[in-house]
């Protein structure tokens, strides 16, 4: 197991009503104290996030969150044949070694629905499996606007 992981999770406990239980982001970046980007490598994800939703022939799997292209996006699988609200959605990335001390974590989401769906989600840094830092998104600290629902 990698020494340091970043994990983004939208747990079922954040709510599933009004089609709110989805996890989709455009890009995740981690910066060290000098402002340099720390390389993130796909580690693992929950089954629906790992598979991703198929859009225009492309699966929007979690690897797109660290592909360096903010025009791409992830989206958990959903729709016919997918049991909505049956798993916590999460994605995890290892921090490439060696790396400096983490100063900032940036999560970019361009789909307006994410701004509502982010409430109750959390981002964590884990060292050797133990949480060393965690942030839970609230209505007060999600930047942006939008409405829920709509996939």
Q: State pLDDT tens for residues 99-141.
A: 889 999 988 888 777 878 888 999 999 999 999 999 998 888 7
The residue that leads in pLDDT, 70 or 141, is 70
What pTM was estimated for this model as a whole? 0.90
**For the segment 40-64, what is each residue's pLDDT rounded down to a tens digit?**
999 999 999 999 999 999 999 999 9
Quickly state the pLDDT bin for 144 (edges 50, 70, 90).
low
Chain-centre distance for alpha carbon 118: 9
* Sign of the torsion angle spanned by Cα atoms 52, 54, 59, 60: negative
Q: CA-CA distance, 67 to 137, in Å (whole number)?
A: 23
């Amino acid at each position: 197991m990698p020494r340091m992981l970043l994990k983004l999770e939208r747990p079922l406990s954040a709510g599933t009503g009004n089609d709110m239980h989805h996890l989709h982001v455009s890009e995740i970046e981690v910066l060290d104290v000098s402002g340099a980007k720390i390389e993130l490598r796909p580690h693992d994800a929950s089954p629906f996030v790992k598979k991703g939703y198929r859009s225009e022939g492309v699966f929007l799997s979690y690897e797109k969150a660290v592909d360096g292209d903010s025009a791409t996006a992830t989206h958990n699988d959903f729709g016919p044949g997918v049991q909505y609200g049956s798993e916590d959605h999460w994605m995890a990335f290892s921090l490439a070694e060696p790396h400096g001390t983490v100063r900032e974590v940036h999560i970019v989401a361009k789909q307006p629905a994410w701004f509502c769906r982010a409430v109750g989600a959390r981002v964590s840094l884990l060292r050797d499996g133990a949480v060393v830092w965690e942030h839970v998104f609230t209505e007060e600290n999600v930047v942006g606007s939008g409405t829920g629902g709509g996939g």
